[in-house]
Amino acid sequence: MTEKFKITFKRLTRALGILNVLFGIAAAGYFLLSLGGYFHISGQVFILWFSFYSVSNAFFIFYFCLFENEKLRVQLERKVEERTVELSKKIVDAYNLRKALLNLAEDLDLAKKVIEEENSKNKTLLESIGEGVVVVGHDSEILLINKAAREMLDLNPYETIGSVFSESFALADENEKELADEELPVSRVLSQKTTVSTTIGHPYYFVNKKGSKLPVTLVAAPVYFGKEVIGAIIVFRDITEESKLDRAKTEFVSLASHQLRTPLSTINWYTEMLIDGDVGKVSREQVKYLNEIFKANRHMVELVDALLNVARLETGTMVVEPKMADVSELIQSALAEQKAEIVKKKLKVETNLDKNIPPMNIDPNLFRIILQNLLSNAAKYTSEGGIITLSAVIKKSGEKFGGRGLEENSLCVSIADTGWGIPQEQQEKIFSKFFRGDNVRLKYTEGTGLGLYIVYSVLEKLQGQIWFHSEENKGSTFYLTIPATGMRKIEGTMALT
């Protein structure tokens, strides 16, 4: 409908409206006059007026419908236009969303491929590692076990994955005694949140379903997620060949030491006879030289004894024969053995022995060897005029000693000195075989480096512990504990000397 037509139609409608009104007024006037008798309205006039009135009204209705429909149409077009714009925006948004989702899907696919590649690489690397690797969750459930571990322990991965570590693996200590669940490296790592490791000299044994034992060295460490321990990883290595070689070496040292001991004892005996003049008079100068021979021979005897002790410890032939003994008396006796060195260097000794220490079921000889080594080190490596402090007390489970909480009632002994101390960078090696600190070797050339190794090994076999705090040029404090229940008997063939 054009705009010109709209204007013309509107004018025509208004004119008809005016005519309709005028016609109506005229008709009404005629009607009133006819009532007064002035005119007589014929039926044709009335019909003409009524017809015109009807036509004009019909025209008005048509006009109203036409223009109202036009308004509705305009409104509808406006709404359609608005809705179209709105739908267009939504279509654009949907397209952008689809595009974003497609991009996201591509990114996810790419990330998935990268993760799969990394997992494949990690799995390949893990399967290629020569050492056995086992990963467990926080509840000791086995999550992963690599090819080397499966082959070494003859395991079926489908039966092992998902099972609890203690149910799948039997582990024995260096004495081939099977470990309880709480003693397993995994259990200790998860409960104590610390790293557990073993060495060739102190291996663990995996026991397979057939009962055969595999000697291994292992390291078990906690796996952290943030600050929370979520599991543990165990890495172990088969040391069957190394154990054979180490045992052969130890047996050779033992045999050689035994063979050396007899001639050394002979030298010692005859030198004493010469010094005492049992075979004739000797001059002062000759006595001086004989004393040097005797002194050097004593050092050789001590070295041979130490080597024999190490061999007995490592071959498992050491015997432990506990009996009820007075602990304080044994401590005083071991201290008395160092009297000569203490007097020579004018050392001050302070003792603090708890009077309530009861008699204990211990091996007096082993306890003496432990104290002798620690007190001898304190005396040798403390400068003239220094102080040695020796303490002993019974402490209950949960109490603190030397900065550590005790897991059971224990005899606690500490030996402190104001000596040369141990260099910080060498402290982790102090219990190693043949190790001596650099500062000690420079000032005191004599020594085997076996004393602390023997002490550590003996205490480990007796379920005891030893640790220390030390600062170079300020001194050291060694702490040792032995269960208050005493030492357990160990069958063997040779006692330590």
Residues 310 and 253 in one domain: yes
Show the DSSP H helices in 129-239 as ranges. 147-153, 157-160, 165-168, 185-192
Same domain for 233 and 247? no
Is the residue at 489 inside a domain? Answer: no
Residue 492 falls inside a structural domain: no
Q: At what angle do helices 451-461 and 364-380 cross, to 10 degrees?
A: 150
Is 103 inside a domain boundary?
A: yes
Same domain, 300 and 259: yes
What's the CATH code of the domain at 159?
3.30.450.20
Question: Do residue 256 and residue 226 come from a single domain?
Answer: no
Q: What is the CATH number of the domain that holds 289?
A: 1.10.287
- Give the separation between CA 385 and CA 383, rounded to whole angstroms: 6
Nearest to 410 by CA among 483, 357, 358: 483
Instruction: Note whether 332 and 446 are same-domain residues.
Output: yes
Domains contained in the chain, number: 4
List all residues 6 or more positions away from 286 whose beta carbon is below 8 Å from its beta carbon. 274
Name, in order, each residue with C-beta under 8 angstroms of 256's C-beta and a sequence gap of 6 or more. Answer: 307
Same domain, 386 and 408: yes
Same domain, 330 and 443: yes
Distance CA 331, CA 399 (A): 23
- Token pair in block for residue 412: 């606690």
| CB 202 within 8 Å of CB 218 | no
Residues whose CB falls within 8 Å of the CB of residue 81, separated by 6 or more in sequence, listed in order: none
Position 421 in a domain: yes
Query: Would 494 be classed as within a structural domain?
Result: no
Q: Which of 315, 339, 364 is the last residue of a domain?
A: 315
Q: Is residue 297 part of a domain?
A: yes
Q: Same domain for 453 and 429? A: yes
Of 264, 280, 315, the one marking the end of a domain is 315
Nearest alpha carbon to residue 316 among 241, 216, 246, 373: 246
Indicate the DSSP class of residue 233: E
Q: Are 394 and 358 in contact (CB under 8 A)?
A: yes
The residues, any chain, with a CB within 8 Å of residue 303's CB and separated by 6 or more, are 448
- Give yes or no: residues 459 and 357 share one domain: yes
Residues 111 and 61 in one domain: yes
Could you say which of 220, 238, 256 is where a domain stops? 238
Task: Using DSSP bridges, classify how beta strands 387-395 and 348-353 pair: parallel, antiparallel or unpaired.
Answer: parallel
Task: Verify that 433 and 455 share a domain, yes or no.
Answer: yes
Is 496 within the bounds of a domain?
A: no
Which residue range(s) make up the domain with 108?
3-123
**Predicted confidence pLDDT, tens digits, the chain (497 residues):** 556 655 665 666 666 666 666 656 655 555 555 555 544 444 555 555 556 566 666 656 655 555 555 566 667 677 777 777 787 787 888 878 888 888 888 888 888 888 888 877 877 787 778 888 888 888 888 888 888 888 888 887 777 788 888 777 788 887 777 888 888 888 888 888 888 888 776 788 888 777 778 888 888 899 888 888 889 998 988 888 887 877 777 777 767 766 777 788 888 888 888 888 888 888 888 888 888 888 887 777 777 777 777 777 776 777 888 899 999 999 999 999 888 889 999 999 999 999 889 999 998 888 998 999 999 999 989 999 999 999 999 999 999 999 989 889 999 999 999 999 999 888 888 888 888 888 887 777 677 788 888 889 888 888 889 999 999 989 999 999 999 998 888 877 667 77
Please, are residues 459 and 466 in contact by the beta-carbon 8 Å criterion?
yes
Residues 285 and 384 in one domain: no
The answer to whether residue 88 is domain-embedded is yes
